[in-house]
Amino acid sequence: MVAALRGKVGCIVDLSAAFRLKDASLYPRWYGFEHEQPELLAEAVYGLPELYRDELEGATLIATPGCYVTAASLALAPLVRQEFIQSSGVIVDAASGVSGAGRGLKQSSAFCTVDEDFSAYGLLDHRHTPEIEQVTGAQVLFTPHLAPMSRGILATCYARPTGAVTTESLLEGLTRFYELEPFVVVRPTPPSTKATLGSNAVHLTARFDERTGYVLVLCAIDNLAKGASGGAVQAANVALGLPETAGLSAVGLFP
């Protein structure tokens, strides 16, 4: 549909994965299909304003990020770009609410299956893996989990530092990177999914563990808002020259 719509509308915002990956050869392995419009991959702009705002201004085709990718990338990309962490051996351990699987009737997402349960899936081959790597520039081992909640994502990311770091320097680096972002909150306390519920907010924190030598970064978002429709509206606002926060809330519906 996108190819047919090009030139007939001002801006297309695609929420599927069809234009997220820049390398067409990745689609058969990770999504199981040959990409029939590879020429549009170069034209599509990745819809994550915190990292691609300049490219989004005036964009006519926007590829909305995956929900897990939004959380992992906003946690890791600033630290990779500022050379706080190494770009290899990064681990992303993330949990999502059931709505991430869509509204289709499936035994794996039925109430009696999910309630009082916590499980991992997509081991070593989840389709968001190459997208996280593309956005962060890091080699990632990604393991998603299904949590017994309706919505929300909590991504816990582990990486090795490039040099001497502290918890304070990591928090300062994240704060500096996101200081002008209307939806990102860097906080000293661990984020929670409920605090972002129904909003476009992103809550982050970081730690350095002197005992093991690992950097720890956590990110909480609402998978249906910032991780999907909210992020799409935000990117469209930037592309169309509208106020970036139009139609969006930065305050979660907690409790």
- Enumerate the domain spans of the chain: 2-65+228-240, 67-226
| Locus of tokens 């090795």 | 160
Asked whether the beta carbons of 163 and 225 are under 8 A apart, the reply is: no
What are the tens digits of pLDDT across the range 201-213? 999 999 999 999 9
Residues known to be catalytic: 67
Residue 167 has pLDDT above 90, yes or no: yes
- Which is it for the CA torsion 153, 158, 159, 161, positive or negative? positive
Residue 255 has pLDDT above 80, yes or no: no
Q: Once rounded to an integer, what is the mean pLDDT over residues 136-157?
A: 96
pLDDT given for residue 103 in this prediction:
76
Q: How far apart, in whole angstroms, are the C-alpha atoms of residue 151 and residue 223?
A: 6
Across the chain, what does the average pLDDT equal?
A: 95
Q: Which CATH class is domain 2-65+228-240?
A: alpha beta
What are the tens digits of pLDDT across the range 13-25? 999 999 999 999 9
Q: Where are any strands of DSSP class E within the chain?
A: 12-14, 45-46, 61-63, 90-96, 119-120, 140-146, 153-159, 184-186, 202-209, 214-221
Q: Phi and psi of 65, rounded to 5°?
A: -65, 160
CATH number of 67-226: 3.30.360.10
What are the tens digits of pLDDT across the range 27-63? 999 999 999 999 999 999 999 999 999 999 999 999 9
Instruction: Output the CA–CA distances (angstroms, integers) from residue 200 to 23, 90, 99, 104, 251, in the order listed.
Output: 29, 26, 16, 24, 8
pLDDT given for residue 158 in this prediction:
98
What share of the chain in percent tops pLDDT 70?
100
41-50, 112-121, 149-158, 213-222 — which is least confidently predicted? 112-121
Structure tokens at 145: 């989990």
pLDDT given for residue 114 in this prediction:
83
Q: Once rounded to an integer, what is the mean pLDDT over residues 129-158?
A: 96
pLDDT given for residue 113 in this prediction:
82
User: Does the bond joining 65 to the residue before it have cis omega, within 30 degrees of 0?
Assistant: no
Closest by alpha carbon to 132, among 74, 173, 205, 89? 74
Residue 109 pLDDT class (50, 70, 90 cuts)? confident
Does the predicted model carry a pTM greater than 0.85? yes
Asked whether the beta carbons of 100 and 155 are under 8 A apart, the reply is: no
